Amino acid sequence: MRVIGTAGHVDHGKSTLVKALTGIDPDRLKEEKEREMTIDLGFAWLTLPSGQTVSIVDVPGHEAFIKNMLAGVGGIDAAMLVIAADEGVMPQTREHLAILDLLQVKGGLVALTKKDIVDAEWIEMVSADIRQQLAGTVLARAPIIPVSAKTREGLPQLLAELDRLLQTVPPKNDVGKPRLAIDRVFSMPGFGTVVTGTLMDGALAVGDEVEIVPGEKRGRIRGVQSHKEKLERALPGRRVALNLSGLAVEDLQRGQVVTLPGLYRATTLLDARVQYLPDAPKPLAHNALVDFFSGAAQVEARVRLLDHEELKPGDVGWVQFHLAAPIAVAKNDRFIIRFPSPSITIGGGIVVDAHPTARHRRFKPEVIARLETLMRGTPEEIVWQFLTARGNNPADVKEIASSTGLSTESITQALHAHAENLVALGTAYITTPNWRNLVEKIRAMLAEYHRQYPLRAGLPREELKSRLGLAPRVFDRVIERAASENILVANEDVVRQPDFVVTFTAELQKKIDALLAQFHRAPYTPPSAQDAEAALGIEAVNALVAQGQLVRLNDQVLLTPQALQTMQEWVVNTIRAQGEVTVAQVRDQFNTSRKYAVALLEYLDEKRVTKRVGDARVLR
Rounded to the nearest 10°, the torsion over CA 212, 214, 215, 219 is: 0
* pLDDT over 90 (residue 13): no
Domain membership of residue 174 (yes or no) is no
What are the CA-CA distances from residue 222 to residues 179, 201, 255 (Å)? Answer: 17, 21, 21
For residues 156 and 15, membership in a common domain is answered with: yes
148 in Cβ contact with 114 (< 8 Å): yes
Domain membership of residue 586 (yes or no) is yes
The answer to whether the Cα torsion of 36, 37, 41, 46 is positive or negative is: positive
pLDDT of residue 123: 95
Which of 472, 503, 534 finishes a domain? Answer: 503
For residues 156 and 252, membership in a common domain is answered with: no
Domain membership of residue 372 (yes or no) is no
Task: Kindly report the pTM of this predicted structure.
Answer: 0.74
> CA–CA separation, 77 vs 108, rounded Å?
9
Domain count, the chain: 5
Give, as one character, the DSSP assignment of residue 464. Answer: H
For residues 128 and 61, membership in a common domain is answered with: yes
Domain membership of residue 173 (yes or no) is no
For residues 164 and 221, membership in a common domain is answered with: no
> CA–CA separation, 261 vs 204, rounded Å?
12
For residues 324 and 362, membership in a common domain is answered with: yes
159 in Cβ contact with 49 (< 8 Å): yes
Domain membership of residue 403 (yes or no) is yes
| Cβ-proximal residues to 120 (8 Å cutoff; 6+ apart), any chain | none
553 in Cβ contact with 600 (< 8 Å): yes
Which of 168, 199, 232 finishes a domain? Answer: 168
For residues 151 and 25, membership in a common domain is answered with: yes
Domain membership of residue 486 (yes or no) is yes
> CA–CA separation, 204 vs 178, rounded Å?
7
| Cβ-proximal residues to 135 (8 Å cutoff; 6+ apart), any chain | none
Domain membership of residue 47 (yes or no) is yes
Question: What pLDDT digit, counting tens, does each position of 91-117 carry?
Answer: 999 999 999 999 999 889 999 999 999
Q: For the ranges 34-38, 69-73, 192-196, which has the lowest average pLDDT?
A: 34-38
Domain that holds residue 537: 506-619
Question: What pLDDT digit, counting tens, does each position of 322-360 carry?
Answer: 999 999 999 999 999 999 988 899 999 999 999 988 899
Which of 145, 168, 191 finishes a domain? Answer: 168
* pLDDT over 80 (residue 34): no
For residues 523 and 484, membership in a common domain is answered with: no
Specify the amino acid at residue 467: R
Closest C-alpha to 205, from 226, 188, 185: 226
> Could you give the count of Cα atoms lying within 13 Å of 557 in the half-sphere of its Cβ?
21
The mean per-residue pLDDT over the stretch 29-47 comes to 80
Domain membership of residue 485 (yes or no) is yes
CATH value at residue 352: 2.40.30.10
Question: What pLDDT digit, counting tens, does each position of 501-542 carry?
Answer: 999 999 999 999 999 999 999 999 999 999 999 999 999 999
Asked, as a colleague might, if the bond just before 433 is cis with ω within 30 of 0, I would say no
Q: Give the pLDDT band of residue 36 (cuts 50, 70, 90).
A: low
> CA–CA separation, 558 vs 553, rounded Å?
6
> CA–CA separation, 527 vs 616, rounded Å?
27
Asked, as a colleague might, if the bond just before 342 is cis with ω within 30 of 0, I would say yes
